[in-house]
Structure 1
Amino acid sequence: MGVGEAEAFSERMKREIQVLEATNVYALLESENLIEEIEARNNKLELHSVNNKRLCEELDKLLKKLYIPPEFVASLTGSSFDESHMVKNIEACDWLCGAIRRLQVPDLDPSYTNMQAVREKHAELEKLKNTFVWRASEFLRNYFASLVDFMITDKTYFSQRGSLKRPDHADLRYKCRTYARLLQHLKSLDKNCLGPLRKAYCHSINLLLRREVREFANELRACTKVGKAPTTWFDSAAGFASSANSVETAALSEVYSKMLTVFIPLLVDESSFVAHFMCFEVPRLSNGSICGSDDNGKTDSGHDSGGSATELGSLNESLQELLNGIQEDFYALVDWGYKIDPLRCISMHGVTEHYLSGQKAGTTGFVRLLLDDLETRISMNFGRFVDDCIYLIEKTECNARQVGVLPYIPRFSILATRMEQYIQGESRDLVDQAYTKIVSIMFVCLERTAQIDPKYSDIILLENYAAFQNSLYDLANVVPTIAKFYHQASESYDQACTRHINMVIFITFERLFLFARRIEELMFTITSEEIQFQVGMSKADFRKMLKSSLSGLDKSINAMYKKLQKNLTSEELLPSLWEKCKKDFLDKYGSFVKLVNKIYLGESVPQVSEMRDLLTQM
């Protein structure tokens, strides 16, 4: 290079490097567009790579959603529904429900819904679903029927002559629970398939329940020994067993109570089981029982059922199919007891009320309806008995020809005593209503009978009202309704006594009290001083009247006693009537003496004290 010195060489090299760098920079500036094109191409290639990777990942996910495992297809389309296969069937159901859900928005991106592959797989899944739902539904319908048919053909399962057997559904429910999850999946796959299944199940169980109720009730009646109680209490022609013992028919109440004790809990449990097993979405109580609805579609607690109203309606339809017809054998038992001893309606009514109050919070609507219907049937039978009693009382009135105590008065006392023995719980109201109807008619008929012959009217009334009080004294102290009629009879008795005694007194001392009445009438029109100057009212007339009325006073008083005693059939009433008669006579005589002292001054008249002493001595 012609450079001998190192410094000169170094300087020269620096200058050449600077020239070279300047040349490179210029060259780079000249090729900028080309570099940009290369960079852009590289960026696109990188973006394509990333997108393709993501697309493959998304397609892999979609392919997994579209994949149908062949073992699940086999289970859904051809597997047996035996208990040993149910685990695999349920697993296939779980997968099918998830697969259908995964091909639907929001689990599936909306942009995929119209893809041909997605539509094809969705159609394939729907076909699988429909096939499985049909197969499972067909199996369950036949399974429910076969379970019940097997039990019904086994006579040892039911009550038989000499063997009362309590129904036991534990094994039946255990076998049904094997398919509880299957039903839940069927509801998820096709909600409409549950209607026919519910109908089939309830129909089959209804056949079993009706058979159980019928055989149990028949054997209950067959093995129950009861005495015959009076069925007509007021029919004179039929005779009357006043010594009939309520213990003889106590078995009737026990039979009815046992029927409810066995079957009401069973029916409640069956209703609750149907609601749970058949996948009804209804409110449940804290004790696990289903919450029934009333006629307004409201729950037991009174709150509106809201979204559950439709389900409650469907549930009630199923329960009606489950329990329909069962009431007939309960009715037959009630009617059987009524024919043997009508008064047993009282205790059966009390038993029914007990179950209504005790089970109301935990039962379904139709079990309560059964109890309500039974209560109505019992009340209707008892009402028929009461109507028969009223008819016979009115018949007695039509045939009344004798005086004295009418036969229905003492018979009602014995009837009421028996009825009180039968009362249980809320049947108090039933009995009180019967008392009101019967006694009201008795009093009406008594009053009408008394008017047949006015001559003996008050005697009939006082004797019968007294007999009513005497026979019901003990009951009136403990039964408010009887006490009310007791007081009514007491008032009517007092009124009849007063009328009859007044009549006896007036007849015995007619001239005396007619003279006094004449004085009282004249006092309304003239002064007291003028009365003795009226025709027939002079002092001479007064003395003549007084002499004829009070001469032989002991004979007159004796005659008054005889008149009071005459036609009186209840001799035990005579002492009290005589005491009242003496008191009323002294009151009337005292009023007479006051009038005489006011009108006929100076005239001598026996004083009240003298008359009292005379009455006391007799």
Structure 2
Amino acid sequence: MAKSSADDAELKRLCEAAIEGTKQKIVMSIRVAKSRGIWGKTNRLGRGHMPKARVLAISTKAKPQRTKAFLRVLKYSSGGVLEPAKLYKLKHLSKVELVSNDPSGCSFMLGFDNLRSQSVAPPQWTMRNVDDRNRLLLCILNICKEMLGRLPKVIGIDIVEMALWAKENTTTVTTQEKPQDGPVASIVTGDDLKVTVERDLVSQAEEEDMEALLGTYLMGISEAEAFSERLKRELLALEAANVHAILETEPLIDEVLQGLESASICVEDMDEWLTIFNMKLRHMREDIESIETRNNKLEMQSFNNKALTEELDKLLQRLCIPSEYSACLTDGSFDEAHMPRNVEACEWLTAALRSLDVDVDPAYARIRAVKEKQAELKIIKSTFVRRASEFLRNYFATLVDFMTSDKSYFSQRGQLKRPDHADLRYQCRTYARLLQHLKILDKTCLDPLRKAYCHSLNLLLRREAREFANELRASTKATRNPTVWLEASTGPSVTVNNADTSMVSEAYAKMLTVFIPLLVDESSFLSHFLCFEVPALVPTGDPTNGRTSQSNVDDSDDDDLGIMDIDDNVGKHGNSSSIDLGSLNGFLQDLLDGIQEDFYAVVDWAYKIDPLRCISMHGITERYISGQKADAAGFVRLLLDELESRISMLYNRFVDEACHQIERYERNVRQMGVLSYIPRFAILATRMEQYIQGQSRDLVDQAYTKFVSIMFVTLEKVAQADPKYADIMLFENYAAFQNSLYDLANVVPTLAKFYHQASEAYEQACTRHINMIIYYQFERLFQFARKIEELMYNIPPEEIPYQIGYSKMDLRKTLKSSLSGVDKSIGGMYRKLQKNLTCEELLPSLWEKCKKDFLDKYESLTVLVARIYPSETMPSIAEMRELLASM
């Protein structure tokens, strides 16, 4: 037998895909052929009645109250994909009718009572075989019975035959379920799919009895009424026989009643005995319960007494103060050898206080012994905190005094000594654990200790910085450069002192290299040693990721803090880190306050030697600022910011003084030729570029902008003092500016901008001066041309020769007076151009520009004459060009 399409898992999957999103589950899907029948006529095959391939699918949708069932009709689209066509609710299925015209019995119709038009014949569905038909109809009937509680009307189909077919075809059917973890195959037998027609209509046993009965009375029965009368008579006979049999059994019934009466008497006697025994047992049970209650109370009392004894023993252990700890806390020594014992005593005291405050049951807290012991422990705590605080304050001061009294710790004449705090920190680490326990015992005692430590160490740091800065300046030999760079009295030919002053910026860098890492390390050491709950710091040191080794500076530097191993819990309390960070910055202010004055002294000393070294120092400071990212070293960042501001202020002072020197040119006597500050600015800019280090570009560019703006404004004012020679002075100075800054403008964008600005001003001044020279020699000729151009705005060109003063005769007179001896006039232009020029190297380019502008004007004149006076002749452009070339 061929496999039924109802078992096709792929067909079922396609149907589920077609109704995806409707929350319905496919129970069965099977391929059918659809055709349209005509009421009362034989179905004819034609173009409009050809069978169409369809898929019938039975689906269900679960609801909270009940489950709905649907019959879906799906058709194939043009792409071969199943898509929904019709939807019927099975609750409206009223009949299932077999088509009588189909001898195979594979065609049937489904009637629904909610169709709008009952006059149109419902579609006929044709199955491939009778098995497919029975399988589909049995599934529909089962669902109607189980979900709807009723069966539709079945016409033309034998129910008994379908039930027998369902019993014989109990084949297994594999259905695909798709849970969350993937598809799982489940086996459904044919018993699950068949309609239990036998159970619903008549059972098999009843059917057999009916067949036997019908077989017994089959012969001799002609009419139903006679058969019914015969059955009634036999029923009456059977009832009479039953009554007679009951009457014959009366003696037996009497004997049974007598036996029941005697048994009832015995039962009553037994019930009386049982009542007596039950009362005795109840009294005995009450006695046993009373004995058990007394025993339980005794056991509980014994257990509680034992637990109370153990608890009191523990409490006595807590209340007991070891004598060695008591002596150590109240009158012990704080020498280095005794510190392990002191720390151990602190740990015991902390644990004892915590056990009495937190771990003790609240009921014990009201006991007088506990209260007295708490008061005693608090007295011991306050005594120890007071003694330890007093010792540490004296210890910090003594330690610093010892170091300051020894001159070998500081820089001396002829020897720079790098500050070394390794021994200081080593001795302080001895008491780091003690400070942490003091913080736990009494947090308020830390601020006086922190203030004492900062005050003592501040004296040491300021002394080290002062001695180092003094020796650094004394050991640095540098020639002082003058601050007057652009003074007019020096003249352009005076050579500026270009002495090497690099050792000045190197001294400043050495000061930062030595002290900035030291200050950062001290800030980090302070934050951990004095128990500030802030994030751990990584000392940044030299921004070049390494400390520069100097020949006369001690290279040995032990900056390993070694504090993080004191207490692993330091800095882990994020809720108070912001508060501690603000307090830390306040104590850092006390620790490092005043040390900035020594840095300022080095900056001022460097400025006096060479103001331009401010550029190098500014770049060095910016690199250190970019390397300081830790919040706990906030004062170091402020120090670097203030140094940067002071360097910028000094450099701006130098720039302002140089600008004042430039502005003084405006008040001087008449100037000729190139102003002296033009070439001197090129020398100044070259040296400034040599001093740029790293990020000082903006500082120098701002100075360039200020310098050049003042230079150009002053140049314009000086030139306007003598308008007759203003253009000569302008283009000579702008040309000198371009020549002196040509190389720098190629690499410095800011100077390139001013270079182009000077180039435009040079071109404008040259154009004005050359036009003046041309008009001086040929004023009448080009004045005549300009007036003609003005007339052309209002008069047609052909009428101009008839105007007064513009006739052909006037043109001839003008040409004769201007172009006769034109070679002498051109020579006069050259002499005029050369007369007041102080920069002879500009003459060739100016003369070429002059000849070009003259030819352009002459060409415009010839075009104008040819248009207005076509019959007149004048020297051609080629002749004039040859004449100019021969000059």
Query: TM-score under structure 1 normalisation?
Result: 0.89
Instruction: Classify 1:287/1:165 alpha carbon distance in 2 versus 1 (closer, same or farther; 3 Å).
Output: closer
| 2:553 maps to 1:284 | no
- CA shift, 1:30, in A, is 10
3-state SS of paired residue (2:309): helix
RMSD in angstroms over aligned alpha carbons? 2.2
| 2:614 maps to 1:345 | yes
| 2:807 maps to 1:538 | yes
Instruction: Classify 1:579/1:169 alpha carbon distance in 2 versus 1 (closer, same or farther; 3 Å).
Output: same
Query: Residue 514 of structure 1: which of 769, 783, 802 is its match?
Result: 783
* Larger CA deviation: 467-476 vs 358-367: 358-367
Match of 1:491 in 2: 760
Match of 2:458 in 1: 206
Q: Is the 8 A contact 2:524 2:537 kept in 1?
A: no
- CA shift, 1:441, in A, is 1.2
Greater share of residues in helix: 1
Query: Residue 87 of structure 1: which of 315, 318, 340 is its match?
Result: 340
Match of 2:411 in 1: 159
Deviations 1:83-122 (CA, angstroms, capped at 9, x unpaired): 01111111110100000001012x1111111111111100
Match of 2:633 in 1: 364
> How many matched pairs?
575
Task: Using the aligned pairs only, state the percent identity.
Answer: 70
Q: Is the 8 A contact 1:264 1:367 kept in 2?
A: yes
Q: C-alpha separation between the residues in 2 aligned to 1:547 and 1:39?
A: 157
- CA shift, 1:404, in A, is 1.1
Instruction: Classify 1:325/1:288 alpha carbon distance in 2 versus 1 (closer, same or farther; 3 Å).
Output: closer
* Larger CA deviation: 307-316 vs 358-367: 358-367
Instruction: Classify 1:617/1:29 alpha carbon distance in 2 versus 1 (closer, same or farther; 3 Å).
Output: closer
Instruction: Classify 1:46/1:235 alpha carbon distance in 2 versus 1 (closer, same or farther; 3 Å).
Output: same
Query: Residue 712 of structure 2: which of 443, 461, 472 is its match?
Result: 443
Q: C-alpha separation between the residues in 2 aligned to 1:30 and 1:493?
A: 135
| 2:649 maps to 1:380 | yes
| 2:507 maps to 1:255 | yes
Q: C-alpha separation between the residues in 2 aligned to 1:121 and 1:72?
A: 15
Match of 2:109 in 1: none
| 2:588 maps to 1:336 | no
Equivalent positions of 1:52-131 (< 5 A) are 52-105=305-358, 107-131=359-383
- CA shift, 1:457, in A, is 1.3
- CA shift, 1:447, in A, is 1.4
Match of 1:452 in 2: 721
* Larger CA deviation: 83-92 vs 596-605: 596-605
Match of 1:7 in 2: none
- If you compute each CA radius of gyration, which structure gives the higher value, 1 or 2? 2
Deviations 1:447-499 (CA, angstroms, capped at 9, x unpaired): 12221221111111101100000000010111111111001100110011111
Q: Is the 8 A contact 2:435 2:530 kept in 1?
A: yes
* Larger relative contact order (CA 8 Å, sep ≥ 6): 1
Match of 2:521 in 1: 269
Match of 1:403 in 2: 672
| 2:882 maps to 1:613 | yes
Match of 1:427 in 2: 696
Instruction: Classify 1:593/1:363 alpha carbon distance in 2 versus 1 (closer, same or farther; 3 Å).
Output: farther
Match of 1:597 in 2: 866
State the AA in 1 paired with 2:306: K
Q: C-alpha separation between the residues in 2 aligned to 1:421 and 1:32?
A: 114
Match of 2:174 in 1: none
3-state SS of paired residue (1:373): helix
State the AA in 2 paired with 1:117: A
Q: Is the 8 A contact 1:466 1:493 kept in 2?
A: yes
Instruction: Classify 1:181/1:532 alpha carbon distance in 2 versus 1 (closer, same or farther; 3 Å).
Output: same
Instruction: Classify 1:278/1:285 alpha carbon distance in 2 versus 1 (closer, same or farther; 3 Å).
Output: closer
Match of 2:856 in 1: 587
- CA shift, 1:308, in A, is 1.6
Q: Is the 8 A contact 2:585 2:632 kept in 1?
A: no
Q: C-alpha separation between the residues in 2 aligned to 1:461 and 1:101?
A: 89
Deviations 1:302-341 (CA, angstroms, capped at 9, x unpaired): xxx7642111101111111111111111011011101110
| 2:408 maps to 1:189 | no
Q: C-alpha separation between the residues in 2 aligned to 1:165 and 1:600?
A: 96
Q: C-alpha separation between the residues in 2 aligned to 1:30 and 1:550?
A: 163
Match of 2:823 in 1: 554
- CA shift, 1:522, in A, is 1.3
Query: Residue 388 of structure 2: which of 130, 136, 139 is its match?
Result: 136
Q: C-alpha separation between the residues in 2 aligned to 1:436 and 1:149?
A: 53
* Larger CA deviation: 451-460 vs 471-480: 451-460
Match of 2:485 in 1: 233
Match of 1:298 in 2: none
Q: Is the 8 A contact 1:97 1:189 kept in 2?
A: yes
Instruction: Classify 1:175/1:533 alpha carbon distance in 2 versus 1 (closer, same or farther; 3 Å).
Output: same
Match of 1:292 in 2: none
Deviations 1:231-258 (CA, angstroms, capped at 9, x unpaired): 1111134678634225x21100110010
3-state SS of paired residue (2:363): helix
- CA shift, 1:566, in A, is 1.8
State the AA in 1 paired with 2:651: F
Instruction: Classify 1:597/1:68 alpha carbon distance in 2 versus 1 (closer, same or farther; 3 Å).
Output: same
Instruction: Classify 1:32/1:243 alpha carbon distance in 2 versus 1 (closer, same or farther; 3 Å).
Output: closer
3-state SS of paired residue (2:501): helix
Deviations 1:42-94 (CA, angstroms, capped at 9, x unpaired): 65544433322222111111011111111111111111111011111111101
| 2:399 maps to 1:147 | yes
- CA shift, 1:36, in A, is 7.8
Q: Is the 8 A contact 1:159 1:219 kept in 2?
A: yes
State the AA in 2 paired with 1:60: D
Q: Is the 8 A contact 1:164 1:220 kept in 2?
A: yes
| 2:579 maps to 1:310 | yes
Q: Is the 8 A contact 1:342 1:382 kept in 2?
A: yes
- Where structure 1 has 5 or more consecutive residues not aligned to the other structure, the ranges are 1-26, 290-304
Q: C-alpha separation between the residues in 1 aligned to 2:491 and 2:799?
A: 68
State the AA in 2 paired with 1:611: M
Q: Is the 8 A contact 2:540 2:627 kept in 1?
A: no
Instruction: Classify 1:382/1:399 alpha carbon distance in 2 versus 1 (closer, same or farther; 3 Å).
Output: same
Instruction: Classify 1:598/1:36 alpha carbon distance in 2 versus 1 (closer, same or farther; 3 Å).
Output: closer
State the AA in 2 paired with 1:100: L
Q: C-alpha separation between the residues in 1 aligned to 2:460 and 2:491?
A: 46
Q: Is the 8 A contact 1:242 1:414 kept in 2?
A: no
3-state SS of paired residue (2:509): helix
Q: C-alpha separation between the residues in 2 aligned to 1:338 and 1:109?
A: 73
Q: C-alpha separation between the residues in 2 aligned to 1:319 and 1:525?
A: 86
Q: Is the 8 A contact 1:187 1:194 kept in 2?
A: yes
Q: Is the 8 A contact 1:144 1:201 kept in 2?
A: yes
Query: TM-score under structure 2 normalisation?
Result: 0.63
- CA shift, 1:284, in A, is 2.3
Greater share of residues in strand: 2
Query: Residue 462 of structure 1: which of 718, 727, 731 is its match?
Result: 731
- CA shift, 1:529, in A, is 2.1
Q: C-alpha separation between the residues in 1 aligned to 2:533 and 2:630?
A: 19
- Where structure 2 has 5 or more consecutive residues not aligned to the other structure, the ranges are 1-279, 542-573
State the AA in 2 paired with 1:219: E
